[in-house]
Amino acid sequence: MQDGSNRRTRAIGLFLFAVYCSAYTGFMATAAFGTFRGGVADGGLTRPAVDGVNLAVVYGMALILGAFALAVLYAFLARGGDE
C-alpha cells in the first residue's frame, strides 16, 4: 500500500511539475523571442494585462503566486499517502 501511495504521490508531483514547467518555459520564450524586435519593445510582455500593468509584471507575479497555489494543491492531493 505504501509503495502504491508513493507512486501516486510521485505521479501527481510530476504532473504538476510539467504544468509549471510549461508556464515557466512560456515566460522565458516570450521574454527572449516575443518581446523585442531590433532592440525595440514590440508586443509580447509589453502588452497591458491588468489595469495598465504590463504582461511582464503580471506573468511574473503569476509564476510566483502560481507556484504556491500548486504547492498547496500538491500537499492536499498527496495527503492520502501519509496515512
Partner 1 sequence: MIYQTELLPFAVFLAFVGLVLGISVHLARRAKSAGGYFAAHGQVGWFVNGIAFAGDYLSAASFLGICGMIAFFGYDGFLYSIGYLAGWIVALFVIAEPIKRLGRYTLADALNAKFQSRGVKLVAAIATLVISLFYLVPQMVGAGALVKPLLGLPHWAGVVMVGVAVTVIVATAGMVSTTWVQFVKGSLLVAVCGLTVALILGRGLRTPDTAIPAGHMQWIERGPGGTVVNGAPLAIDNQLDSRLRAEHGVGFGSVATLPGGATESGPLGPIGYLETFSQSTITTWRKSESRAADGTVRTEFTPVERKGSDLLLPGASPTFKGVRADGLAPKLDFLSLMLALFLGTASLPHILIRYYTVKDAAAARKSTVVGIGAIGIFYVLTLYLGIGAMTSGALDPMDSNMAAPLLARTFGQSLFAVISAVAFTTVLGTVSGLILAGAGAVAHDLLRDVFRVELNDGEQVRAAKIASVALGAGAIVLGIVFEKMNVTFLVGWAFNVAASANLPSLVMLLFWRRTTREGIIAAMSVGLVSSLAWILLSADTLEKVYGYSATDAAELTIVPFSQPAIVTVPLGFVVLVVVSLLSRQRPIPAAT
| Cross-strand pairs, 50 | 53
Write b or e for each residue in 9-18: b if 16 or more Cβ atoms lie within 10 A of its Cβ, otherwise e: beebeeebee
Q: Does 46 bind partner 1 (CB under 8 A)?
A: yes
Q: Does 78 bind partner 1 (CB under 8 A)?
A: yes
Place of cell 504521490: 9
Rule CB under 8 A: which residues touch partner 1? 3, 6-7, 9-10, 13-14, 16-17, 20-21, 24, 27-28, 31-33, 35-36, 38-39, 41, 45-46, 50-54, 56-57, 60-61, 63-65, 67-68, 70-72, 74-75, 78, 81-82
